Amino acid sequence: MPRGSAALSAARPPEEKINWPAEYDPARAVFFVHNQIDIKAPPEVVWAIITDVRAWPEWYVGATNLTVRSPDERIGPGVVVSWRTMGLDFDSKVAEFTPPTRFAWESRKAVIRGYHAWLIIPTADGCRVITDETFNGFLAYMQRMFIPGKLHGLHQTFLKELKKKAEAREPQRP
């Protein structure tokens, strides 16, 4: 189901739950998207790829014109990333940054507000990556009505490309 399910989000075990700000709780949000994938790579490898947002345009079709606004151009708590996705320019501020398991940012515009979280859960074979996103505002209603599957598809593309990159990396040697 492209929109996602707030009940699914609420039913997860604690280590698999997103730390939603109240405004973005999936049960109250206008639009909610859930995607996940299992990856045969350690969480640290996956984390390194996800948080190297400057490289996203090289492998993810949904991200262009990306700039990390920090002195060292690295992502971290409170850092703002300016980028273009789905035809809109966004400034996304990192709201959660807990290596190597939790990363989230908030994007605010006059017509749409969103919260996007990535959760990396260790598994016996590597890790599971969950990416959930909620939206509120006028454009969230339009998205839900007219293109409900587009964001789900872009997130799935992101996860498939992430999986390819992570599983192709050589294991880190001590």
- Whole-prediction pTM value? 0.88
Domain extents for the chain?
Answer: 27-167
Cα dihedral 5, 17, 96, 38 sign: negative
Kindly give the residue spans of alpha helices, DSSP state H, lying in 32-130. Answer: 43-50, 56-59
For residue 8, the model assigns a pLDDT of 57
For residue 171, the model assigns a pLDDT of 60
Mean pLDDT of 151-165: 95
Q: Write b or e for each residue in 84-123: b if 16 or more Cβ atoms lie within 10 A of its Cβ, otherwise e.
A: ebeeeebebbbbbeeebbebbbbbeeeebbbbbbbbbbee
For residue 85, the model assigns a pLDDT of 85
pLDDT at 1 over 60: no
Q: Which CATH number fits domain 27-167: 3.30.200.20, 3.30.530.20, 3.40.309.10, 1.25.40.10?
A: 3.30.530.20
Each residue's pLDDT tens digit, 62-107: 998 999 999 888 999 999 999 988 888 899 999 999 999 999 999 9
- Return the higher-pLDDT residue of 129 and 15: 129
Eight-state DSSP code of residue 17: -
